[in-house]
Amino acid sequence: MDFVQPTTLTEALAARAALTDGLPVAGGTDVMVDLNLHRRSPPALIDLGRVPDLADISTQDGWLRLGPTVTYDRLMTVLRDDLPALALAARSIGSPQIRHRGTLGGNLGTASPAGDAHPPLLAAGAEIEVVSTTGTRRIAVTDFFVGPKRNALAPGELISAVHVPRARGPQQFAKVGPRNAMVVAVCSLALALHPDRLRVGTGIGSAGPVPLPATDAERFLEGVLSEGGLWEAPRPLDVAVRSRFADLVASAARPIDDVRGTAAYRVHALRVLAGRLLDRVWEGYEKAGPR
């Protein structure tokens, strides 16, 4: 197997175009598992770890631009204020060893329904920038996942950045698993309030063929907050609102029974998580308001 080590994005794209079945690798925490266990055997690995541009984090006009080879360890420390749900999700991933190596772009490349970074990106309204030798395009995160472990990348394309609006309100993430660390989520949920655009964002993980937004739950909560004037003057939410929101989140899931849990358990757990996360973000909003 060849090992190609580009040092610029141009070289990386040339390698990606020339080696159609070549497998891009960054932290190796997914790719090397497949190679070690002989699950796949690509003709070449294209190492993205020596392309400095791909590891950048920058901010422009209220949007963060996250390079795809930024590690979870960096996400959890650097984004605590700017993207709290993604920082929380990053901290929940694997172990220190995995977080030192695993990357945001790798999570998107693998496109597992259980990828922990995906629900926060859905809740925040992220866009994935992909590039090839013929040009660049941006894909809404809701369109990026097209099936279990399948994403919208075309042959020859690489993920070049993840664009995410900086948090303007509280964000939360929670996941269910048999222990706190080293867990593939049984299910997970991210919730974000966007008071600047009067929107609510959600993302469900590990409870469907792809990570899913709970669109009806978002519209319901937006309606309650707007009609009640709660964005401007937050006060405690009715129990009925909490319970309706939780039901709508649970009903957006499309889970299956598998080794990690049953579909029924996932729906139940999501209802519980939705209520808890709503409590947490709303408590945060009542205290601090928009920022």
Contact set with other proteins (CB under 8 A): 1-3, 5, 25, 27-29, 31-33, 35-37, 41, 44-45, 47, 49, 73, 94-98, 100-101, 180-182
Nearest approach in angstroms of CB 155 to other proteins is: 21
Nearest approach in angstroms of CB 2 to other proteins is: 5
Q: Which among 165, 217, 210 is positioned nearest to 191, based on CA atoms? A: 217
Tokens of 75: 């996400």
Strands annotated E in 95-229: 127-132, 135-140, 145-147, 150-151, 158-165, 171-176, 187-194, 199-205
Whichever of 23 and 152 has its CB closer to other proteins, that residue is 23
Nearest approach in angstroms of CB 90 to other proteins is: 14
Alpha-carbon gap, residue 238 to 205, rounded angstroms: 27
Whichever of 101 and 194 has its CB closer to other proteins, that residue is 101
Whichever of 7 and 134 has its CB closer to other proteins, that residue is 7
Nearest approach in angstroms of CB 64 to other proteins is: 23
The DSSP 8-state label assigned to residue 247 in this structure reads: H
Whichever of 17 and 98 has its CB closer to other proteins, that residue is 98
Nearest approach in angstroms of CB 36 to other proteins is: 4
Whichever of 44 and 246 has its CB closer to other proteins, that residue is 44
Using CA atoms, how far residue 240 sits from 54, 76, 244, 270, 275, in Å, is 46, 34, 6, 17, 11
Phi first, then psi: what are they for 113, rounded to 5°?
Answer: -60, -20
240's CB contacts (< 8 A; 6+ apart) are none
- Which strand (E) or helix (H) includes residue 90? helix 84-92
Tokens of 291: 């920022």
Helix (H, G, I), strand (E, B) or coil at 87: helix
Whichever of 38 and 235 has its CB closer to other proteins, that residue is 38
Nearest approach in angstroms of CB 6 to other proteins is: 12
Nearest approach in angstroms of CB 163 to other proteins is: 27
Whichever of 60 and 180 has its CB closer to other proteins, that residue is 180
